[in-house]
Structure 1
Amino acid sequence: MNRLPTCCAPLQHHWPLPRPVAGAVLVSCAFDPSQLAADDFQRAGIEQTASLQRSVAKRQAEYLAGRVCARAALQRLDGRDYVPGTHEDRSPIWPSAVHGSITHGKGWAAAVVAADGACRGLGLDQESLLDDERAERLAAEILTPAELARLDRSQLGLTVTLTFSLKESLFKTLYPLTRQRFYFEHAEVLEWSADGLARLRLLTDLSPAWRHGVELDGQFCLHDGHLLSLVSV
């Protein structure tokens, strides 16, 4: 019987984002690396690889929390008991005919999954909100010239954090479909609104189906200084 690790709070089965994705399941939990117990991987029934054994408590706790959420989401999706492994490129290994994404930040982790018939890809990302000073330093690395030109400096921290997060979610969505890496300059956020909806455009060719100029919808929500974004196709 798999049990909840000591470092993890009870799981939350919910949909915090503004627009439901038909057939998708999202599970999250808070976690505390300082509460990580020596037997937490064994307790949860999750393999602790050699590299994880050598890693710091923060890395172990966030990996454990993310995989616990992923397993719970898959159980709710179709009843299977499955913990995603890890590809050499560090992306999760999902069951065939299932799309999913895992994210973790400061003390919070989540996973979202959906069956192949419901969607073709999902990308989920969580970030702590940048303060304006750090956002100013990072803006030129994250935003394209067009994004910088229309940047509203009254919402500097939010805009830079949101742009970063949406592009991360976009990458998590499209990388499993194309196996092509791309970077911040290869996508732009065209618009976003206070109701949590956004629109992105791809600025590079990744595959015959995913070419320069393709536009996708994104969504996001804010909670306690954290931002959660999702891109689905």
Structure 2
Amino acid sequence: MTSTHPICCGPLDATSPFPQALPGLVMRSCAFDPALLAADAFVQHGIPAPASIQRSVAKRQAEYFAGRLCARDALLALTGRADVPALGDDRAPLWPEGVSGSISHSHGLAAALVADQRQWRGLGLDLEEPLATPRALKLAAEILTPAELRRLAAFTPEQQAARITLTFSIKESLFKALYPLVGTRFYFQDAELLEADDDGRARLRLLIDLSAEWRAGRELDGWHCLFRERLLSLVAVEA
């Protein structure tokens, strides 16, 4: 691994953009350009690439590279060790023992979030480009429950698109936070966004049983904000 910064990635940013500071969370983000990813970047910068990534197109390779670059720097700040999470059989990151974390990327921006599991049992982070109104309305029935669809009627079309984008993103974050805890896959219709305010807070409710602990009706907090022209959402499960 060299000490030089890879040319495909911008500087690592340690800023947490969420309006409410959550103690113990360490976040790193960076911009990246797949066209600038060097052929030897993974070897040159000490980021192991699994076979599936080596076979991928440049865009996927750059997403993986930038996400792991952010994760490594966040883990170094948290634990003092520059670990790179491997890719599990279920394609989820494999975090070091005692660490919870999440990685996301969207159109040239990557971010990673880590924490001590004794403080945060599960983390889900998701970056999304805001959906254009026509596409958002077309996808609404796939993403939203009937109750969520009914609540859309109070919004303008532009507000509806923003709410649909947020619902998509924060349910992705919910899955990332809970899947390592329950080992069960679940889908958009299996949870409901109850509310989301302008201060960046949100509230979600499970609609199905995922485990003996995580049953239908269980509610969780979420957070959301705009970050570099993307929507960034977070679900964090306290220990």
User: TM-score by structure 2 length?
Assistant: 0.95
Q: After TM superposition, list the pairs within 5 Å mapping 1:135-214 onto structure 2.
A: 135-151=136-152, 152-154=154-156, 155-214=159-218
Where does structure 2 lack aligned partners over 5 or more consecutive residues? none
Give the distance between the partners of 1:158 and 1:62, measured in 2 at CA.
25
Q: 1:215 corresponds to which residue? A: 219
Q: After TM superposition, list the pairs within 5 Å mapping 1:32-51 onto structure 2.
A: 32-51=33-52
Tell me how far 1:21 sits from its aligned partner: 1.8
Asked if the contact 2:13–2:29 (Cα under 8 Å) also holds between the matched residues in 1, the reply is yes
Asked if the contact 2:50–2:87 (Cα under 8 Å) also holds between the matched residues in 1, the reply is no
Q: 2:134 corresponds to which residue? A: 133
Alpha-carbon RMSD across the aligned residues, in angstroms, is 1.0
Q: Per-residue displacement from partner, 1:9-30 (whole Å, max 9, x unpaired)?
A: 1100111112222111000000
Q: Does 1:230 align with 2:234?
A: yes
Does the residue aligned with 2:107 lie in a helix, a strand or coil? coil
Q: Per-residue displacement from partner, 1:108-159 (whole Å, max 9, x unpaired)?
A: 0000000011111110000000011000100000000000000144102110
Where does structure 1 lack aligned partners over 5 or more consecutive residues? none
% of aligned pairs identical?
A: 59
Q: Which amino acid aligns with 1:125?
A: D
Give the distance between the partners of 1:200 and 1:48, measured in 2 at CA.
35
Does the residue aligned with 1:169 lie in a helix, a strand or coil? helix
Cα 1:83–1:214 change in 2 (3 A) is same
- How many pairs does the alignment contain? 233
Greater CA deviation, 221-230 or 122-131? 221-230
Q: Per-residue displacement from partner, 1:55-83 (whole Å, max 9, x unpaired)?
A: 11100000000000000000000101200
Give the distance between the partners of 2:12 and 2:220, measured in 1 at CA.
30
Q: 1:63 corresponds to which residue? A: 64
Asked if the contact 1:6–1:40 (Cα under 8 Å) also holds between the matched residues in 2, the reply is no
